[in-house]
Amino acid sequence: MPRALVTGAAGFLGSHLCTHLLNEGWEVVGMDNFITGDRRNLTELEKDPGFSFVHHDVTQFISFPGELDGIFHFASPASPIDYLQIPIQTMKVGALGTHNCLGLALSKNARFILASTSECYGDPLVHPQPESYYGNVNPVGPRGCYDEAKRFAEALTMSYHRHHGVETRIVRIFNTYGPRMRLDDGRVLPAFIGQALRGQPLSVFGDGSQTRSFCYVDDLVNGIYQLFQSEEVFPTNIGNPREMSILEFAEKVQEAVGSSMPITHLPLPEDDPKVRQPDITKAKSLLAWTPKVELEEGIQKCLDYFKGRVAEERQ
């Protein structure tokens, strides 16, 4: 049975990845310090005898006994509301955390995969965004703490691959949604669904013409696992190329929830990307991967989860 370490295991993506690895026959060790992770995301995982958990901050040296076959480095704040509140911790987990995990991969002869982000493209001047595009990132803007932490992590990962021969993979993750997201994490789907379920107006930044592409979490995790098993060392986009405006997305949520509340408009945050759409040509050809879950189906699949979270708020 292969053995994996998943950092950020109590987070939205990390917990789903742990579930996927267990289903694929891996023994999984989860690691998190709960800065943004949710202990409740581990509830089902801890019922599985193949799962164990270590409470640890990956920016500190990682002492790990026994053999290790894979390291999935998913520890990081991932939403603007988080990384704008804790910018230094965000940069540390991208730099020191990635360094510690790569050092562990080197010592254990384990394959390493970095959870990078579409934010490496910044506010893009090329659309859709292929992996060959170097990006348009403001390093001194408020979002720079996250964008540059991930860009540094990619460079460090490639340096360990080239200099030390570590088997590395880099996945650039585009907007993803599904169960286990925090209602208050600031990302668009939980924000819209939370507001709709509470009977509140939906808050759209700017005029809502900015675009995003939303991938259901099961599709994303499948793509990540296929990339991990491949031989590709350079960054690979994983996301759903179906693009829509934020205003259109808000209307989709209203329809799914049955909300008649109006849409309100707020000032657009600084450096907010105007467009975001993955070019997944590489993933299609390299991995034979494409997303399967349509947005309308995906919203319905996670609606009960968010209803439960809103009900807990009212207790």
- Which of 234-253 are b and which e, b meaning 16 or more Cβ less than 10 Å from the residue's Cβ? ebbbbbbbebbbbbebbbbb
**Mean pLDDT score, 138-166:** 97
**Mean pLDDT score, 288-294:** 98
Predicted confidence at residue 240, as pLDDT, reads 98
Candidate from 77-81, 133-137, 170-174 with smallest mean pLDDT? 77-81
Q: Which of 30, 32, 237, 233 is nearest to 132 (CA)?
A: 237
* Structure-token pair, residue 198: 């509470």
Predicted confidence at residue 315, as pLDDT, reads 79
CATH number at residue 206: 3.90.25.10
Same domain, 220 and 299: no
Same domain, 169 and 20: yes
Same domain, 224 and 98: yes
Same domain, 195 and 76: no
Predicted confidence at residue 314, as pLDDT, reads 86
CATH number at residue 122: 3.40.50.720
Host domain of residue 97: 3-174+216-238
Predicted confidence at residue 305, as pLDDT, reads 95
Same domain, 151 and 234: yes
pLDDT band at 185 (very low <50, low <70, confident <90, very high): confident
Predicted confidence at residue 186, as pLDDT, reads 84
Among this protein's residues, is 146 annotated catalytic? Answer: yes
In the chain, the number of structural domains is 2
Q: Encode pLDDT of 95-117 as tens digits.
A: 999 999 999 999 999 999 999 99
pLDDT at 184 over 90: no
Domain presence at residue 286: no
CA angle 15, 87, 160 (to 5 degrees): 65
What is 3-34 written as a DSSP string?
Answer: EEEEETTTSHHHHHHHHHHHHTT-EEEEEE--
**Mean pLDDT score, 155-180:** 98
Same domain, 128 and 39: yes
If one counts every other C-beta atom within 10 angstroms of the C-beta of residue 270, the result is 9
**Mean pLDDT score, 223-239:** 98
Domain presence at residue 302: yes
- Active-site pick, 83, 121, 146, 160: 146
**Mean pLDDT score, 230-250:** 97
Q: Encode pLDDT of 64-75 as tens digits.
A: 999 999 999 999
Domain presence at residue 284: no
Same domain, 118 and 197: no
Domain presence at residue 283: no
- In the chain, the percentage of residues whose pLDDT exceeds 90 is 95
**Mean pLDDT score, 222-237:** 98
Read off the pTM: 0.96
Same domain, 164 and 251: no
Same domain, 189 and 156: no
Q: Encode pLDDT of 23-65 as tens digits.
A: 999 999 999 999 999 999 999 999 999 999 999 999 999 999 9
Q: What does the alpha-carbon distance between residue 151 and residue 149 come to, in Å, rounded to a whole number?
A: 6
- pLDDT, averaged across the chain: 96
Beta bridge partners of 122: 136
**Mean pLDDT score, 152-167:** 98
**Mean pLDDT score, 141-155:** 97
Predicted confidence at residue 66, as pLDDT, reads 95
**Mean pLDDT score, 86-101:** 98
Predicted confidence at residue 302, as pLDDT, reads 94
Domain presence at residue 225: yes
Q: What does the alpha-carbon distance between residue 52 and residue 134 come to, in Å, rounded to a whole number?
A: 38
Same domain, 255 and 298: yes
pLDDT band at 300 (very low <50, low <70, confident <90, very high): very high
Same domain, 185 and 109: no
